[in-house]
Every structure is written in structure tokens, then in C-alpha cells.
Amino acid sequence: MANLLYRLGRASARRAWLVIIAWIVILGAAGTAFLVAGGTLTSTFSIPGTPAQKVADDLQGTFPDANGGSGTIVFETTTGDTFTAEQKAAIADVLNQVSEVPGVSGTVDPFTTDNQRSEQEQQLSAAVSQLAAGSIELESQQALLSATRGQWEAAGLPASDPAFVQLDQQQALLDQAAEDLAAQQAQVENGQRLLNAAANARTLSEDETIALGTVLFEEPQMGVTQEQKDAVAEAALSEHIAGVQVYLSSEIVQSIAGLLGPGEIVGVLIAAVVLLVMLGTIIAAGLPLITALIGVGVGAAATLSFSSVTEMSSITPALGVMIGLAVGIDYSLFILNRHRRQLRDGVPLQESIGLANGTSGNAVLFAGLTVVIALIALNLTGIGFLGLMGTVAAVCVAVAVLIALTLTAALMSLAGVRVLRKAERNALSRTTDAGTSSGRLITRRASRRRARESLTSRHPIVTLLAGVVALLIVAIPATTMRLGLPNGASESEESTQYQAYSAIERGFGAGANGPVVVVAALPEVEDEAALTALQAAIVDRLMAVDHISAVVPVGVSDDDRTVLFQVVPSEGPSSESTEEAVRDLRTMSTTLDKDLNVTVGVTGLTATNIDISQTLADALPLYLLVVLGLSIILMILVFRSIAVPLIATAGFLLTVLATLGATVAVFQWGWLGSVFGVHDPAPILSFLPTILIGVVFGLAMDYQLFLVSGMREAYVHGHNARDAVRQGLRSGRTVVVAAAIIMIAVFGGFAFSEMTIIRPIGFGLAVGVLIDAFIVRLLLVPAAMRLLGDKAWWLPRWLDDVMPDVDVEGAALERRHPAAVAAPVGHIDSAS
């Protein structure tokens, strides 16, 4: 493979403009495909086969309209006064305009709903009064009839007297009237029970300052296009209503408009500064940025062009951009760094490009394949949207590798020696004495580095124990980790989504932001009265569940065999009590089936999100085991050792635990929340741990490869184990540090993204790289290998005989090309 990459690098360098034009054409084609075939991105997630999804699927035949998506428009008076008649009329006009938007099946006017509720209360109150009066009248007639019968019996009239026959007929009428009155009373009592259960499910707050308008979409939530959401938002905000503030829920306004915001741009700028400081020239610093941006553009546009034929969440391209950008810069940097060192050593330009591609490029290919495999392995979870995320990110990484192996070589050819600092370029044209002087400078700097290394490597046991203990302490919050999906409370405080969420919580309670849908399958009933009685009995059972605030019947099937109930929890959709309530609602199905011959299922967005989080939590251990196993196998092949893979894998596990601990501390506990925009701590993004494991695994193996391969090469060439560790660490440390800082900057920029859902991912990846590169790979791994000594490189002879020779370092290529100065992968001297 090294020879093939060597020839590829030489060919790309000789035909530089052809390679550049080819990638520009590919970028244009990908962009055109996206513009022509790109479809809709969704802000919701689903997993087929979960309990909530099964109930939703079963509803399609019974309630076709029940699966339609919905959104909320919140109206709040700015003065704190109740809504005026003019404001109510203006709100009704706005909702009428929204109902005319294509794709909207209708809207619910909050004031009409509240009026209907008031009318029902009045009707029930009137019915109660009428029934009370009827009961009094019936009792009076019964008393009169009984008195008459008593008088006639006292007078000695025989029972066969026609007068008694007439009294019997009147008694029968009274008995029927009493029976009818009792049935009416039961009906009214059932209605009162239903109304009482729905008391906390309102569309107008008790102080009449906040009203909720509902938008009903024709398609399910995932099928609502961004154009439809934008049209609804435009219609809702088209008219200014004096004294009324309008907020839109996250179901209406979520989009990918914030895919690249100020935070991401700052992250890229920091990466540019790091490159400039490390490489010393604008041309050299700009080269990795250019290749990374082109790679991200190709990968993101190409994958987005398939969004019309597959359901793709809005976070999917964001993840691809984030990972593709970070690895794109680093992979190009690894090759460029090797090329610059060889140029300084006097290797001709074209030969240097080919050798850099065959050595560092070979390592880049292996590292990229590792990341790609880890991301593709997300499909093993069996969770569609998560597998698609991994696939899209893998495509972006694969494109980054291809660009690094071709476009980087072409740009390096055009740049020539200008990738070097001016002093280095001047040194190339001087005599051998100048070169010797440069070598002395490097030697002096290397001596200072060795002095620093001796200071840090004097106590490997202390280093190892202190590092492990520190990471385990950081990992402590992970023991309390809860998984969930973001809602309006997670958005920025200035956003309309957060304002809508907060207004709903103020006016109606936190649970109104996450109602649950309960579907009840009923036995056959005789009439409407029996149906109402059964509904009331079910409502009583539902209200008896802990943490339930209100229950409202919202629909009955045509055959009266299925009823939908909207259940409002006491707390928000991501609270532990709501999760407990959903579990209790499901477990009560057995009792209802036994007592009332009724079975219930739970669905709705809140229940769906809970099921998704649980499914992801269940899949996490298996995926972690797969990744750990893959890590051990790959490291055995590369380093031909048993201990080194175990050390690398243990370090990766420590990185994951500490990263999850730090993420929980910030986003779930709220520590340093003001720094990262966390104003309402909530459960960790449900698929973050899985994504983090896959990505950090790939990046950790990158750093392990670029550091430990140098140690292995030094050991194979006769150095003792301790010196091999020192030389490998020295040769690869600078480039790994620079690469890690770049990744931290890029990922850290996404930690301040305008997309709330991407922030914890950016934060987690930035912290993961920070911990893995600076603590695990640069401190713990070298310390452990120093302690093991020669045992670190032990491998059973039989295993050594059957394993293929994976020449990741490209050492064989270097031996065949004596123009190259043999050096470990990732070698960089102080001039870099």
C-alpha cells in the first residue's frame, strides 16, 4: 500500500492542476446534486419497533389524522392584563391564516376551545340543577302517591278497586322516571368526572394572559417539510398584534440554519492560528484548511443530496461537517508535516511529496479507515437514524482521506518550498556548513527536550496512578447519567422556542410541554352513556397514576372501540417523574384489562423520546464491547504486541468514562452552565454516548498510532525499551499536540453552536480529544510502557507467524528510497 500511495502522491504532484480541477468539479457536482435532489431534514427521531412507535403505527388505520404532526403558537399579553376582544379577534385571524398554509390540516383557536369548555361547565351545572329539581319533584310525587295509597288502604278499599290499578300505573311511571333520572345523574356525574380530570389541561391560562394555539399538520412530524414550517412561522408572525407577544414552539422553527455559526467559525480560526504558529507560513497553514473545507463541502453536499429518499435528521449533516472538518485538517497536516521535514533534509520536491504520501499518507489511510470502521459500526446498534449518522460521518471522513492523499499532494507541488519558513528556504540554498549549523540548533533544542522529558518521566508510577485517579474522579458524574432528547427548554434563552416553552410552563405547568397520548382499546358498549361511563372509569385509573396532572379524552373511533386520551404529566417531558409516569401507565394495562376489559398503549412525542433513549441505552454496552474488541485486534496487528493494545484500550476506556463524566457535570448537573449556554440542565443527549465512543475511538487510535509506532520502530531498530519510548514520544509529540489542539478548537467551536442539539456533542468530542491526547496518550501510555519495559513488546511466536505484516509506518518504502531520511511516523523536529 505504501508503494501505491507513493505513486499516487507523485502522480498528483506532477498533474497538480488536473487534480485540483477534478476536486473542484466533484465539489460542484455534489453541490448541484444537493440543490436538485436535496430533501427535507427533520428535527425529530424515531426507532421502528419501540412500544410508542408500535402504538402510533396501529393508530394509522383507526385514526389517520392522529399521526399528523403538530406545533404550538403561544400568545402572551405584554402588559399582564387579560386578552381584550380585539386581541382575541386578531389571534383568530392569525390562526385562520396559518390554517390556509399548504400542508396544514387546521388550527385550534384557544379561545373557542376555552368557550366550549365554559359552555360544558355551564351545561353540566344546569343539568345538575335540573336533575336536583327533578329529584325533588319525583320525591314529592312519590310521597303524594304513597300517601294516597295509604289513605285508600285505611278506608278499606279492596286491592282490585280500579283506583288501585290507576295508582299502580302511576307508580310504574314514577319508577321509570326515577330510573331515567338515575341514569341521567350517572351520565352527568361521569361528565363531571371527565371535566374535573381535564381541569389542568387548558388552552387559556387561569389569569387569561397566555393562550395556546395549535397547528395541525397533514403529515407526521418527521414528514413536515422545512418550507411548511417556514410558511407557518411567516403566517403566525405576519401581523403585529398590539399588546401581544407571539412565540413559536420548537416543532415549528427548528432547522439547520445554525449549522455554521459564530462558534464554529471561531473554532476554525483558532485552528488556523495553531497551524500558522506551528508551520510558520500562511501558505503552509492555509493548505490543510483549504483541503478540509473542500472535503467537508463534498461530503456534506453529497450526503445531503440523499435526504429526499431517506429520513435524515438535522443533526446528521452537522455531525459529518464537525468530524470531517477536524480530521480533514489533521490528516493533511500529518502529510504536510512529513513533507516539510524531508524538504529541510534536502529531499527533492517531487520525491518528498511521494515519500510523504507513502509514509505519513499510509498512516493517514490506516487512521482514517479506523475512524470509518468505528462510525460504520454504529449500524450494528440496529437504530436507523444513528446508523445513518455514522454512515454520513464516515463518508465525510473517507472524503477527507482521499483529499489528503491527492489534493494535498497537488497543492504541495504548486506551493513548492514556500511551505517552509523563510529561514528554512534560505538554509536550503546555503552551504553544508549552514546545514551543520542548523543541525546543531536542532540538537541543542533536542537536548532541552530530553531534559524536560527526564523531568516528567522520573516517576512513571506516580504519573500513572495520579492520571488514572484524576480521570476516575472526573468520571464520577457519569454514574448519574440520564439519557433524553432536547426540547424547547434546551434552546437559547433568546430563542422563540425557549420563550414558548417558558410561557407554557408559567401558564399551564411544565407538563403541558410534554403531553402523553394514551390509546385505550375498549370492549363493545351498548350506547353513548355506557361509553361515557367507561371513559370516566378509565380516566379515574389514569388520574390515580403518580405524577399525572390532567387527562382529557380527545378522540373516539367510529366504532366506539378506541379512545384517545391526552395525559398531561405534572413535570416537564425530560423529568424523571414523567419517565416514571410513562412506565406506570404501561404497566397498568394488565389491571385495566382484568377489571374493565380495556387495554392501553402509550405514544406521543414524549413517550417516543423516552423509548428512544431507553433503546439507545440498551444498545450502548454492546457497541462499547464491539469497539473495545476492534481496538485490541487493530492494535495487535499494528504493533505486534499484546500489552500495547491492552494499554491503549484501557486508556480509551478511561477517556470515555472521564468524558462522559465531564459532559454530565456540565449539561445534566449544570456546572459551568453559563459558559456553555446551559440554563436548564437536562438529561444527556440520548445518542451522545454512542457517537462519542465511535468518534473518540477512531481519534484515540490515530494518536496511539502516531506516537507508539515511533516507539515500536525505535525498539525494532535496537534501542532499549526505555529509550524507544522516549524517542517515539519525542518524535511524534509535537505533531500530535498540534493536531489535538486543532481538533479541540474545531469541536470546541461546535460546543457553542447555534444548534442546541449539537452543543453537547461538540463539547464531548473536544473534552474527549483533550483527555485522550494530553493525559492518556502523552502521559499514561508512555508511563505504563516504561514500567513494562521489554514486556510491552512481547507477542507469542505462533501469533507472530500467522499475522500479516502491517507496515503502517512505510518503513519498507523508506528503505527502497534512500533519499528519504528514515524517521518514525509523525516525526517532527523543533523547526516545525
- Tell me, what's the pLDDT at 19? 93
What is the pLDDT confidence band of residue 88, given thresholds at 50, 70 and 90?
very high
The whole-number average pLDDT for the span 541-566 is: 89
CA distances from 371 to 317, 374, 398, 703 (A): 17, 5, 9, 12
What is the pLDDT confidence band of residue 455, given thresholds at 50, 70 and 90?
very low
- Tell me, what's the pLDDT at 75? 95
Q: How far apart are CA 274 and CA 668, in angstroms?
A: 32
- Tell me, what's the pLDDT at 815? 64
Q: Grid coordinates 410552563 are at which residue?
A: 505
- Tell me, what's the pLDDT at 676? 86
- Helix/strand number for the chain, H first, E second: 29, 12
Average pLDDT, the chain: 84
* CB-based contact 729:633 (threshold 8 Å): no
Closest Cα partner for 385 from 319, 311, 317? 311
For the stretch 559-596, pLDDT in tens is: 888 899 999 999 999 899 999 999 999 988 778 878 88
For the stretch 610-660, pLDDT in tens is: 888 888 888 888 888 888 888 788 888 878 889 988 998 899 999 999 999
- Tell me, what's the pLDDT at 303? 84
The whole-number average pLDDT for the span 705-711 is: 80
For the stretch 42-74, pLDDT in tens is: 666 777 888 888 888 888 777 766 677 888 999
Give the single-character DSSP code of 523: P
For the stretch 771-802, pLDDT in tens is: 999 999 999 999 998 888 889 888 888 887 78
Q: Grid coordinates 352513556 are at which residue?
A: 529
CA dihedral in degrees (692, 698, 704, 706; nearest 10)? -130
For 810, left (φ over 0), alpha (ψ -120 to 50), or beta? left
Q: Is the pLDDT of residue 449 over 80?
A: no
Q: How far apart are CA 326 and CA 742, in angstroms?
A: 7
Q: Are strands 548-556 and 516-521 parallel, antiparallel or unpaired?
A: unpaired
CA distances from 812 to 682, 804, 824 (A): 53, 14, 12
For the stretch 467-526, pLDDT in tens is: 999 999 999 999 999 998 888 888 888 889 999 999 999 999 999 998 999 999 888 888
- Tell me, what's the pLDDT at 434? 44
Q: How far apart are CA 475 and CA 659, in angstroms?
A: 7
Q: Burial level of 625, CB count in 10 A (0-12/13-18/19+)?
A: exposed
- Tell me, what's the pLDDT at 448? 46
Q: How far apart are CA 369 and CA 371, in angstroms?
A: 5
Longest dimension (CA), the chain: 149
Q: Is the pLDDT of residue 431 over 70?
A: no
pTM of the predicted structure, to 2 decimals = 0.82
- Tell me, what's the pLDDT at 669? 93
- Tell me, what's the pLDDT at 246? 94
Share of the chain above pLDDT 70, in %: 91
Q: How far apart are CA 7 and CA 599, in angstroms?
A: 69
334 residue type, one letter: F
Q: Grid coordinates 322516571 are at which residue?
A: 177
Cell triple for residue 575? 423529568
